Amino acid sequence: MAHPLTTCTFCGAGCGLHLETQGGRIVGVYPSRSHPASQGRLCVRGWHVHEISSSPDRLRRPLLRRDDGFAEVSWDEALAFLVERLGKVVAERGPEAVALFCSPRCSNEETYLLQKLGRAVLGTPNVDHGAGVYGNNSTDVLARLLGVPAATGSIADLDRSDLILVDGLDLARQLPTVAGRVIRARLRGARLVVVGERSHRVAEHADHFLQVRPGTEARLYAAMAKVVADRGLYDREFLRSRCRDADAFLAAAREVDLLAAAKACGLEPEQLEAAALAYGQARAAAILYSTASPRRPEVVEGLVSLALLTGNVGRTGGGLFPLAEHNNLQGVCDVGMDPDWLPGYRPAASAAARAEVERRWGTALPARPGLGAAEVFSAAEPGRIRALWLSRYDPVGTATGPNVARVLEACDLVVIQHVFRPESARYAHVILPTTAFGEEQVTFTSTERRVQLVAQAVVPPPGVEPAWKQLTLLARALGANWSYPSAARVMDEIADLVPFYAGISHAALARGHGRQWPCTPDRPLGTRTLFAEPADAPGRFQLVPPPARPPEEQGDPAYPLTLVFGHSDHYWNQNVLVQHSETLRREHRFLLLDYPEGFVELNPEDAKSLGVREGERVRVLSAEGAAVTDARITPEVRRGAVFAPFFAAQVQTLVHGYRPEAPALLHVRIEKEVSAP
Amino acid sequence: MKARVLDGVDVLRVVDVLRSQGYQVVAPFAEEGGDGAFSTVTDENRDAIALHLPNPLYPPKRFALPPIEPLLEIRGHGAETTFRPIVEAPRVAVFGIRSCDVAGIGHLDRFYLEGAYRDLYYATRREALFLVNVVCTLPGVDVGEACFCPCTDTGPAAREGFDLQLMDLGGGEWLALAGSQKGEALFQEPFFRRGTPEHLARRRALLDDLRTRFKTFTSWFAAAISRISRGEVSEGTWEEIGRRCLECGGCTYVCPACTCFTVSDRPAGPDRTERVRIWDSCALSGFTRMAGGHNPRKAVHDRRNRRFYRKLSHHFIQRERSVACVGCGRCAEICHGDVGMPTVVELLRRGPTGPSPAANGGKA
């Protein structure tokens, strides 16, 4: 096979593609026609993944900070420095002064070893991925209500949905392959409901575009549940046999005040009712939401309840799809890169769960859950963490808040493992160059639980080692008895420890397009739909009744608008992959040429009443702070909402400061900025 | 045009001859997952060349126009700056190129060589290129569900543009047609023999039958060309097409007839900058950046309008003497929103099917 079949490593869709190589370089990409999720389609990022490994900006040798900047050193020298410095921090400050964070783009193998290095070798519970709090909200709610925090269905089966509900993400930008599935399903006659304060490509296809007032999604889903309950559109048998608290849920749902909910959401009651009826009457209804969208746990609970109420969980073409915008967010959580969860979603707070992992690893584990990235980077007093490991993760370039730099500055050791030199490298003591896409054989787990191999197509540049190998060498240098001759052996250990990966090995994954977990010896080909049989579920599903008195938003006339942070067209402009592809850099930055200092989006009617015109400077004021930026006037954002892209970090920080649970919404007012004389 | 007959077992000897003449031969191979691709032939893989398989998604256009092509090397600074053109002419023979892709290269030729400006880089590469066309004969294998070359009059058997054409007549016999003197020179090889009128009759009968086996045969360009050339396509139709475009660029990357590129200077090591040209795509937002940046939706509709105007309007057809579509069907296969060429031709013919779903305020 001249052109290895592999997996795109950008978003959670995990599209199949082939790499064309020539003279040890990756020179081209084309899609795999038979991949179940992508079926011959790629997005602009997939079509350009090959441009990254050939970038001349690659890191090629370990770098060690000296007085006059970074010096290239040997791997032995870099490891010796790490052993000495890590040992010093642990000895002086205790293991809890060490934190290890990775990007949700890291492979399953390197991530598993990173959290094991933290927990088992260094003895710190502080391990996390840097994908943020909303992903954790989704994980926690799904684990609590369904028992398994993952998509219940398969992307391919969206072909068999007759209703698809998309909540709050610009699907065509974030997971274009999934958006294509949705649009093609719509063209074939499936109904489409889109919820969100901002319009986008998929919303333009909606039968029901519910452009709700920001932050009212939980009210919307409770009201939809009421319509389903009142009209008897729920699945009686499914509720009786497979759910807990169904009667309480139905009773509470019937009490929801539809008119009040519609008013709170900023919708016509008929509009809300029509969407709810379409949902309730669908034979198979799928719910898609993003684990990166600012959604509070109540919103996810509302979505899960709607899916359970209609018996869609476990049904082909129906179910819940918590979509991962990063290629391996699902995988890094599966293998335990989360302060609250050990590998296989064993709760870190549970002594029994810890004991099981301790027995397998033959060593004691930290006795409590640790700190996550959001907590560490928002600490009021930096200095609690003194050694920080950042694996392909660039908090300075991607996370928000003024404290990131202060936290890094307070460290005695900052280690960066990366393909390129990220912004955080300013604070690094050691930089370890890692392999790029196509240079190592490792696995990623897509948003539909599909564990897939990425093939090695070319050899890495001399001096560059795979991250899993670097971690193995370091653990051995620290005295641990680690022996992983290959990434495949790391996966064997994961399969041994994570029950739903039990049937997975690199050899098995090399046939076809990966396996969807649970993949176990008695189910070696994996599982297309979770919970298809009652016996597949870990127990009964939990319904969460909507509150009898939902909190009414108390509007403040001084701050009449709602500021929403979200993803927009060029969210990925800071991504290293995007920065190292000619085409992608242009594609994801073009708006920044017009708005070099960022922007907030205003509806034309709001802009008119404020007297603000396109491109003018505005001041965004909240009760807690203010920021100055440019106005982008667009009908895509609803009246009363102000949309700020995540990348405009300065806006976010200035307006509300940084907290671990950064509020999804903030009440603000906009003033036209009068330029200083 | 001279014709010869050869035995099926000898077909790959054409590859051997070309390799012995110093050509780097690329040919189609089956890849994992039912895909196919053009790769360089070596002693090891020679017997694995696939004569019948679905046309690879990644077109052989790249051997005439690489996705990233170095043009110039720039060294030094200020007065010391030196420029060195990088003009490459690898002797490449594409064995097994389908008729649609031959027509695509014909289109590139007219664009890059026969306009007001003759492109040196393309010309050099193209002169060194040898094309062995293999005619699609097996419905369901060579001819895919999305193929529609009868509608663009580019296949299944190319009439020109190849050096040599090979066609499986069945029964272990293949027919060879020479399309150039270089191609005809190959007929000196002993495994070619003279054919009979019966061979040509079999060719005709096979092609007549094959033309009825296409799944997509209603891509009726005439009405679409007429509408687009007269400016009769409504805004609603362009909006419908634009709404379904996810701006992946795939349709242009797989199109055998797309010609657009951008030029970029990029660092290529210490004190060395490389000027490259890179395939560009009118589907991408950076292709024609709208001043002011607000109203990106309108921009998408305009860009989609541009693609199909460029391919189907009378103005461009007259300039390049052909529709810039060769009926390969790849854009239909890779499109997320099903707005490949056959669908668009249908939408242009019919006009929009009704008000857009969002236009009624989202109320069903």
Dihedral Cα B222, B224, B225, B228, nearest 10 deg: 160
Q: Are A5 and A455 in contact (CB under 8 A)?
A: yes
pLDDT given for residue A250 in this prediction: 97
Under 8 Å CB pairs connecting chains A and B tally to: 179
CATH 3.40.50.740 domain span(s) along chain A = 63-134+328-483
Whether A183 and B337 lie within 8 Å, measured CB to CB? yes
Q: pLDDT of A416-450, one tens digit each?
A: 999 988 888 899 999 999 998 889 999 999 999 99
pLDDT value at B354 more than 50: no
Contacts of B190 (CB under 8 A, 6+ apart): none
H/E element, A306:
helix A297-309
Instruction: Please name the helix (run of DSSP H) or strand (run of DSSP E) that holds residue A245, with its range, or none.
Output: none
Whole-angstrom distance, CA of residue B341 vs CA of residue B216: 11
- CB nearest B294 (choices: A192, A274, A633): A633
Least Cα distance to A113 among A471, A622, A353, A579 occurs for A471
Backbone phi, then psi, for A256, in 5-degree steps?
-65, 140
- For chain B, first and last CA: distance in Å? 62
User: Helices B341-350 and B235-243 meet at what angle, rounded to 10?
Assistant: 150
- Give the one of B58, B246, B297 whose C-beta lies nearest to A43's C-beta: B246
> Does residue A422 or residue A256 have the better pLDDT?
A256
- The sheet that has A515-516: what strands, in order across it? A442-445, A450-454, A515-516
Given a cut of 60, whether residue B337 has pLDDT beyond it is yes
- In what order do the strands lie in the sheet containing A25-31? A5-7, A16-22, A25-31
| A186, closest residue in chain B (CA to CA) | B337
| DSSP letter (8 states) at residue A29 | E
The span from the CA of B171 to the CA of B305, in Å, is 48
Helix, strand, or coil here: A630? strand
Question: Cβ of A270 and B58 within 8 Å?
Answer: no
Chain mean pLDDT for chain B: 89
Cβ within 8 Å, pair B286-A587? yes
Residue B18 confidence (pLDDT) above 90 = yes
∠ Cα B86 B88 B94 (to 5°): 155
Name which of A23, A32, A39, A108 is nearest A440 in CA terms: A108
CA atoms of A282 and A310, how far apart (whole Å): 9
Cα gap A447→A466, rounded to integer Å: 24
Alpha helices in chain B (DSSP H): 13-20, 99-113, 120-127, 149-152, 181-185, 197-210, 221-229, 235-243, 250-253, 296-312, 314-320, 330-334, 341-350
Contact B37 A44 (CB under 8 A): no
Q: Which residues contact A104 (CB under 8 A, 6 or more apart)?
A: A129, A130, A131, A135, A324, A326, A327, A328, A329, A332
A513 vs B: CB within 8 A: yes
What is the rounded CA–CA span in Å between residue B92 and residue B94?
6
Tens digit of each residue's pLDDT (9 = 90 or more) over B247-287: 999 999 999 999 999 898 888 877 889 999 999 988 887 77
pLDDT at A499: 96
**pLDDT tens string B42-77:** 999 999 999 999 999 999 999 999 998 999 999 988
Residues of A in contact with B294 (CB under 8 A): 614, 632-634
Query: Order of strands, edge to edge, in the sheet holding B173-178?
Result: B3-7, B173-178, B164-170, B129-134, B92-97, B24-30, B36-40
Residues forming CATH 2.20.25.90 domain(s) in chain A: 2-52
3-state secondary structure of B3: strand
- To the nearest whole Å, the CA of B31 is away from the closest chain A CA by 6
Cβ-Cβ contacts under 8 Å, A513 against chain B = 33
Q: Which residues are paired to B267 by β-bridges?
A: B273
pLDDT band at A133 (very low <50, low <70, confident <90, very high): low
DSSP line for B260-280: -EEEEEEE-STTEEEEEEEE-
Place of tokens 């006037």: A633
User: Which candidate, A435, A482, A491, A423, places its Cα nearest to that of A463?
Assistant: A435
Asked if pLDDT for residue A597 goes beyond 80, the answer is: no
Measure in Å the smallest separation between the Cα of B358 and chain A Cα atoms: 6
Note whether A422 and A396 are within 8 A (CB).
yes
* CB contact (8 A) between residue A42 and residue B250: yes
* DSSP notation for A448-500: TSEEEEE---SPPPTT-B-HHHHHHHHHHHTT-----SSHHHHHHHHHHHSGG
C-alpha–C-alpha distance, residues A666 and A40, integer Å: 42
Q: Which of A67-76, A562-571, A590-599 has the highest mean pLDDT?
A: A67-76
CB-nearest to B357 from A32, A206, A590 is A206
Contact A126, A376 (CB under 8 A): yes
* Average pLDDT of chain A, as a whole number: 89
pLDDT grade, residue B356 (50/70/90)? very low
**pLDDT tens per residue, range A299-313:** 999 999 999 999 999
Q: B325: alpha, beta or left, given left = phi > 0 and alpha = psi -120 to 50? A: beta
**Res A552 pLDDT > 90:** no
Distance from CA of A407 to the nearest CA of B (A): 34
Q: Which CATH class is domain A63-134+328-483?
A: alpha beta
Q: Do A605 and B285 contact (CB within 8 A), yes or no?
A: no
Assigned CATH for A561-672: 2.40.40.20
List where CATH 2.40.40.20 sits in chain A. Answer: 561-672
Q: Which residues of B touch A591 (CB under 8 A)?
A: 293
Which CATH superfamily includes the segment(s) A2-52?
A: ADC-like domains (2.20.25.90)
**A169 to chain B, minimum CA–CA distance in Å?**
15
CA dihedral sign of residues A365, A369, A373, A375 = negative
For B246, the closest of A30, A201, A587 (CB atoms) is: A201
pLDDT at B219: 75
Convert B171-197 to b/e letters by CB count within 10 Å (16 or more is b). eebbbbbbbeeebbebbeeebbeebee
Q: How far apart are CA A390 and CA A388, in angstroms?
A: 6
| Confidence at residue B293, expressed as pLDDT on a 0 to 100 scale | 52
Identify all chain A residues contacting B145, using CB atoms and an 8 Å cutoff.
none
Give the residue range(s) of CATH 3.40.228.10 domains in chain A. 154-317
**For the residues of A414-461, what is the DSSP string, one character each?**
EEEEESS--GGGGG-SEEEEB--TTSS-EEEE-TTSEEEEE---SPPP
More confident site: B177 or B307:
B177
Residue from the list A46, A207, A590 with its beta carbon closest to the beta carbon of B364: A207
Q: How far is A37 from chain B (nearest CA, A)?
A: 12
pLDDT tens for A198-233 read: 899 999 999 999 999 988 999 999 999 999 999 999
Interface test with A, best of B246, B295, B363 (most A CBs within 10 A): B246
- A210/A275 Cα distance (integer angstroms): 8
Closest CB to A44 among B31, B37, B247 = B247
As a whole number of angstroms, the distance between CA A175 and CA A290 comes to 10
Report percent pLDDT > 70 for chain A: 93
What tokens does A162 get? 């007759």
- Per-domain residue ranges for chain B? 3-210, 221-360
DSSP assignment of B6-56: EEGGGTTHHHHHHHHTT-EEEEEEE-GGG-EEEEE--TTTGGG--SSSPPP
Instruction: List, for residues A32-80, the tens digit of each pLDDT value.
Output: 999 999 999 999 989 988 776 667 778 899 999 998 899 999 999 999 9
Second-level CATH architecture of A154-317: 3-Layer(aba) Sandwich (3.40)
Torsion sign over Cα A577, A583, A585, A591: negative
Confidence category of residue B295, pLDDT binned at 50, 70, 90: low
